[in-house]
Structure 1
Amino acid sequence: MALLDPKDWISLHGDPAEAVEPATGEVLATLTLAAPTDVTDAAATAAAAQRDWARRPYPERAAVLRRAGDLFQQHAAEIGEWIVREAGSVRGKAEFELRTAAEECYEAAALAHRPLGQVLPSGAPRLSYTTRVPAGVVGVIAPFNVPLILAVRSVAPALALGNAVVLKPDPRTAVCGGHVLAAVFAEAGLPAGLLHVLPGGADVGRALVADPRVRVISFTGSTAAGRSVGALAAQHLKRAHLELGGNSAFLVLEDADLNAAMSTAAWASFFHQGQVCMTAGRHLVHASRYEEYVARLAAKADALTVGDPFRAQVHLGPVIDRGQLGKIVALVRESAAAGVRIAAGGTHHELFYRPTVLADADPDATGPGSVGASPAYCEEVFGPVAPVRAFRTLDEAVALANESSYGLALGVVTRDAARALELADRIPTGLLHINDQTVNDEPVAAFGGLADSGTGSRFGGEANLDAFTETRWTTVRATPAAYPF
Structure 2
Amino acid sequence: MNTTNTPHHEALLFIDGEWTQAADGRTLEIVNPATGKSIGSLAVASQHDVDRAVRAGHDAFERGAWRDMPVQQKARVLNRFADLFEADLEQFYQLETLNNGRPTNETRAQIGRLPQFYRYFAALALTRRSDVIPVEGPYLCYTQRVPLGVVALMTSFNHPLMILSKSLAPALATGNSVVIKASERTPLTTVRLVRLLHEAGIPKGVVNVVNGIGSETGAALASHPLIRKIVFTGGTAVGRSIGEAAARNFALTTLELGGKGAVIVFEDFDLERAVTGATFAAFIGAGQTCVCGARILVQRSIYRAFLERLREKTAGIRIGDPADPDTQLGPVISESSRERILAMLERAKADGAKVLTGARVPPGFEHGFFIEPTVLYDVDPQCEIGQEEVFGPVTVVMPFDDEADALRIANGTKFGLAASVWTNDVARAHRVAGKLEFGLVWVNDHHRLDPASPWGGFKQSGVGRETGIESFDQFSEARAVTINTSGETTDWYADGGAPARLN
TM-score range, shorter chain: over 0.9
By how many angstroms is 1:266 displaced?
A: 0.5
Cα distance between partner residues in 1 of 2:11 and 2:431: 56
Contact 1:226 1:242 in 2 (8 A): yes
Cα distance between partner residues in 2 of 1:77 and 1:23: 20
Q: Which residue of 2 aligns with 1:323?
A: 336
Cα distance between partner residues in 2 of 1:30 and 1:303: 36
C-alpha change, 1:395 and 1:13, in structure 2 (3 Å) is same
Cα distance between partner residues in 2 of 1:220 and 1:483: 54
RMSD of Structure 2 on Structure 1 (CA): 1.7
Amino acid at match of 1:180: R
Residue identity over aligned pairs, in percent, reads: 35
Cα distance between partner residues in 2 of 1:242 and 1:47: 22
Q: Which residue of 1 aligns with 2:401?
A: 392
Contact 2:96 2:107 in 1 (8 A): yes
Cα distance between partner residues in 1 of 2:379 and 2:11: 50
Q: Which residue of 1 aligns with 2:410?
A: 401
Contact 1:354 1:384 in 2 (8 A): yes
Which 10-residue stretch deviates more, 281-290 or 115-124?
Answer: 115-124
The structure with the largest alpha-carbon Rg is 2
Amino acid at match of 1:440: R
Q: For residues 437-456 of structure 1, what are the structure 2 equivalents within 5 Å?
A: 437=446, 439-455=447-463
1:70-93 Cα distance to aligned partner (Å, 9 max, x none): 122211111111110101111122
Q: Which residue of 2 aligns with 1:30?
A: 41
Amino acid at match of 2:292: T
1:184 aligns with 2:196: yes
Q: Which residue of 1 aligns with 2:212?
A: 200
Q: Which residue of 2 aligns with 1:21?
A: 32
Q: Which residue of 2 aligns with 1:44?
A: 55
Cα distance between partner residues in 2 of 1:171 and 1:129: 44
Match for 2:326 among 296, 313, 317? 313
1:42-79 Cα distance to aligned partner (Å, 9 max, x none): 11111121222111111111111112211222111111
Match for 1:276 among 289, 299, 321? 289
Cα distance between partner residues in 2 of 1:227 and 1:8: 28
Cα distance between partner residues in 1 of 2:309 and 2:23: 53
Q: Which residue of 2 aligns with 1:152?
A: 165
Contact 1:47 1:213 in 2 (8 A): yes
1:423 aligns with 2:432: yes
Match for 2:73 among 31, 39, 60? 60
C-alpha change, 1:385 and 1:214, in structure 2 (3 Å) is same
By how many angstroms is 1:299 displaced?
A: 1.0
Cα distance between partner residues in 1 of 2:442 and 2:90: 32
Cα distance between partner residues in 1 of 2:132 and 2:489: 20
Cα distance between partner residues in 1 of 2:11 and 2:336: 29
Instruction: State the SS of the aligned residue for 1:471.
Output: strand
Q: For residues 75-474 of structure 1, what are the structure 2 equivalents within 5 Å?
A: 75-176=88-189, 178-201=190-213, 202-311=215-324, 313-348=326-361, 349-350=365-366, 351-363=369-381, 373=383, 375-437=384-446, 439-455=447-463, 457-474=464-481
Q: Which residue of 2 aligns with 1:367?
A: none
Contact 2:212 2:218 in 1 (8 A): yes
By how many angstroms is 1:5 displaced?
A: 8.3
By how many angstroms is 1:122 displaced?
A: 2.8
1:373-394 Cα distance to aligned partner (Å, 9 max, x none): 3x22221110111100111122
Which 10-residue stretch deviates more, 53-62 or 96-105?
Answer: 96-105
Contact 1:19 1:175 in 2 (8 A): no
Instruction: State the SS of the aligned residue for 2:338.
Output: helix
C-alpha change, 1:223 and 1:22, in structure 2 (3 Å) is same
Amino acid at match of 1:468: F
Match for 1:481 among 484, 489, 493? 489
Taking structure 1 as the reference length, the TM-score comes to 0.93
Count residues with an aligned counterpart: 470
By how many angstroms is 1:297 displaced?
A: 0.9
By how many angstroms is 1:124 displaced?
A: 3.5
Amino acid at match of 2:380: D
Taking structure 2 as the reference length, the TM-score comes to 0.90
By how many angstroms is 1:241 displaced?
A: 0.8
Cα distance between partner residues in 1 of 2:74 and 2:141: 28
By how many angstroms is 1:115 displaced?
A: 3.2
C-alpha change, 1:8 and 1:171, in structure 2 (3 Å) is closer
By how many angstroms is 1:127 displaced?
A: 2.5
Cα distance between partner residues in 1 of 2:164 and 2:195: 14
Cα distance between partner residues in 2 of 1:111 and 1:6: 35
1:11 aligns with 2:21: yes
Which 10-residue stretch deviates more, 130-139 or 117-126?
Answer: 117-126
Structure 1, unpaired ranges of 5+: 365-372
By how many angstroms is 1:36 displaced?
A: 1.5
